[in-house]
Structure 1
Amino acid sequence: MSRKLNLHQDAVIKSLNDPVRRQLFEFISQSTQPVGREAAAKAAGISRTLAAYHLDRLATAGLLAVTFARPEGRTGPGAGRTAKLYALAQSEVSVSLPARNYRLLGSLLAQAASADTSGAVLAALHQAARGEGRKLGQGGDGLVPLLDELGYEPEVDEHGEISMRNCPFHQVAQQQTEMVCSMNYELVSGALEGCQLDCGRAELSPQSGRCCIVVHPH
C-alpha cells in the first residue's frame, strides 16, 4: 500500500538525502553563531555559489532560519551589503514513515500528569526518568556521547562544565515547562550515576535558547 507524504515531509527528506546538504546542515547545527555562505562553502569544500543554492533549499524546507547582518568590523558608507546568514531553525521538524504523532502523545501524557494534584504521577515520572538515565549511563561510552545521542547537544567549556544547546522535549516543554525541566534533571542525574561520575552534578539553570540543565564539575 502506498502512503503519501505531505509536501513539508517530502521537502525535508529530499533536503537531507543529498550528502552536500546534509553536510552543510550538520555544520550549521553545530555552530553557536549564524553562518555565512562563505564559511559554509569552505566547511563543505564547495564553491560559494553552490553552497548558497543548497543553503537556500534547506531554508525553504524549514530546516534553517535566515537572517541578514552587516559583516563584523565594517561600518559606515561602503561597508558592503548585508550578508545572508543561516542558523538552525527553532521550529521542530520530524519525519516518520508511516506517520506517527509522538509529540501529541507526549503532550497529552504531560497534561494528564499535571492534572494529578496528588503528585503521585510526577513522582513516578521522576523515578522513571532517573532509572532510565542510570540504565543508559551504564551501557554508554561516557556522559557527553550519551547526552549527544539523546539530543541535548552538549557543549563542554574549558572548566569542564557541560551546558546543553538543545532540549529534546522542547515542544512539550513549552506547555509543561516545570514538569519537563524536572524530568530532564532526573534523567541527566541518573545518567551521571550510571556513568559512575562522582565528579559532576546536574543543576536546573534555565537559559534562553538552551536546555534547562547544566552539569557542573565538583
Structure 2
Amino acid sequence: MSRKLNLQQDAVLKSLNDPVRRRLFEFISQSTQPVGRDAASKAAGISRTLAAYHLDRLATAGLLAVTFARPEGKNGPGAGRTAKLYTPAQAEVSVSLPARNYRLLGSLLAHAASVDTSGVVLQALHQAARGEGQMLGQGSGGLVPLLDELGYEPEVDEHGEISMGNCPFHLVAQHQTELVCSMNYELVSGAVEGCQMDCSRVELSPRPGRCCVVVHPQ
C-alpha cells in the first residue's frame, strides 16, 4: 500500500533523520535564549557555514523560528549587521505513518468533559490522571527523569523547586485551559506520590510560556 506524506512531513522527517540537525535542534530547544549561528556551530562541533545551512533547513521544515537582532551592547551606526537568531517554533509538528489524528481525539474528549455539567467525566479524568501518574512514578527512576520523559521539560532551581518548561498538551490547553491544567495537576501529583516524594507539594501556578504545575520542596 502506498503511504503519502505531505511536504511538511517529508521535510520534518529528513531534518530529524540527520544527526547534525538533530543535535542543533536539541541544543536550541533546551536553550532559554535565542541562539545565534556562532553558538550553534560551537555546540554541534561544526563550522559556522555548515551550521547556518542546517539551521535554515530546520527553519524551512517548520521546526525553528527565525528572528533578527544586533549583537548585545552594539547599537547605532557602525554596530554591524543584525544577527540571525533561532528559537523553537511555537507550532507543534508531528509525523505518523500512516496518518493518525490524536490531536483531534484529545480535543474532542476535552470538549466532552468540559460540557458535562454533572462533573462525572471530569472526576473520572482526574482519577485516571492521578492513577496513571502513580503507576508511572512507581516504575520510574525518579520524578525529574519521569517528568522529562512525559514532555514537561522540568527545571530544578537552587531551592529544589521544579517548574515545567513545557505543557505536553499545549494545543488542547489553548482551548480547554482549566480542564488541561487540572489534569496536569493530578498527573504530576500522582507521579510525586508514585515516586514516594512525600516531602513535596504540588501547586497550580500558571506562568506565561510555561506549564501550570510547580512542585515545591516542603
Please tell me the residue identity of whatever aligns with 1:153: E
SS of the residue 1:141 aligns to:
coil
- Do residues 192 (structure 1) and 192 (structure 2) align? yes
The whole-number CA distance in structure 2 between the counterparts of 1:159 and 1:78 is 44
Question: Which residue of structure 2 aligns with residue 86 of structure 1?
Answer: 86
Q: Which runs of 4+ in 1 moved over 4 A?
A: none
Aligned counterpart, 1:41: 41
One-letter code aligned to 1:26 = E
* Percentage of matched positions with identical amino acids: 86
Of stretches 72-81 and 174-183 in structure 1, the one that deviates more from structure 2 is 72-81
Deviation for aligned residue 1:78: 1.1
- The CA distance in 2 between the partners of 1:88 and 1:200, in whole Å, is 31
Q: Compute the displacement of 1:75 (Å).
A: 2.2
Number of paired residues?
Answer: 218
In structure 2, the partner of 1:160 is 160
Q: Residue 149 of structure 1 aligns to a residue in which SS? A: helix
Q: Counterparts in 2 of 1:174-185, with a 5 A limit?
A: 174-185=174-185
User: So what's the TM-score if we normalise by structure 1?
Assistant: 0.99
Could you tell me how far apart the structure 2 residues matched to 1:50 and 1:193 are? 47
- The C-alpha deviation readout for 1:174-213, integer Å capped at 9, x for no partner, is 1100000000000000000000001211111111111111
Structure 1 residue runs of 5 or longer lacking an equivalent are none
Give the match for residue 208 of structure 2: 208
Question: Any stretches of 5+ residues in structure 2 without a counterpart?
Answer: none
Number of the residue aligned with 2:5: 5
One-letter code of the match for 2:94?
S
* Match in the other structure for 2:143: 143
- Matched residues in 1 for 2:80 and 2:138: separation? 54
Mapping 1:66-81, distance limit 5 Å? 66-81=66-81
Partner deviation per Cα, 1:88-108 (whole Å, 9 max, x = no partner): 111011111111000000000
Q: Does 1:128 align with 2:138?
A: no
* 3-state SS, counterpart of residue 53 of structure 2: helix
